[in-house]
Amino acid sequence: MDVYGLIGNPVGHSLSPPMHEAGYEALGLDARYVTFEPAPDDAARAVRGAAALGVAGLNVTIPFKRDVPEAVETDPLAERIGAVNTVTFPDDGDPRGYNTDAAGVIRALERHGVDLDGADAVVVGAGGAGRAAAFALADADATVHVANRTVERATELAEAVPGATGGRLDGLDERVPTADVLVNATSVGMEADATPVPADLLHADLTVLDAVYSPVETRLLRDAAAMGATTVDGAWMLLYQGVAAFERWTGTDAPVDAMNAALRERLE
């Protein structure tokens, strides 16, 4: 049996186990997906321990995404983003770290028919999800503007992303009305019925991806739908980052529909 897992702290709320195990069941794979909760400063030891125990692959979540790169051979995209959320344990070398959050953004948008080549994209938030989104969109040939409450973080990220610009949240009124894609990469909308983007800036030619997946229908997405925009909920991004990890671990096309059904069932 192959054992895959997730390290995080806390990790009990994770929806990854049912999503991945639905994938294993659909393909008839002899595999399990389990969770581990190391102490906050034990990321490197957790990766080494997983390797010693023969774990076949790991996902990584808060607060370890920025610490795990020290314990693995990081691929170029994960190195640019500065965060690892997927680890493999090859037979011929050190553990290798990847970032599939970027793939989650792109595949979620592609699922909804969004053409990113030449698109004008606005990313709200400069944390881990914002970094993944900004690099992913730029690599897909979109022009990226990063808006963040702390303008220094937006500027720092924009300087690292080819062709990107950065600014304050209060500058969204100059960016969103002409944008093709808007990504909310903050947690606004998770704990309260709030939105990081005023509704009157949204428009029918816009695609809005909200990285928040609980609730699935955030205020931002409700406002966007009311304006006729295309909406992409955060569960799609969660699904496709998991799909990318699944495929990297197993070398097999993931059963996306089965994994999506298991995820949506838990979110209802």
> Which residue numbers are catalytic?
65
Element (H, E) at 77: helix 76-81
Residue that has been written with the tokens 């949506």 in this structure:
264
> At 72, is the secondary structure helix, strand, or coil?
coil
Among 150, 161, 160, residue whose Cα is nearest residue 125: 150
Whether omega before 215 lies within 30 degrees of 0, making that bond cis, reads yes
Distance CA 37, CA 50 (A): 12
Distance CA 143, CA 139 (A): 9
CB 75 within 8 A of CB 44: no
Distance CA 237, CA 235 (A): 5
Q: What single letter denotes the amino acid at residue 227?
A: M
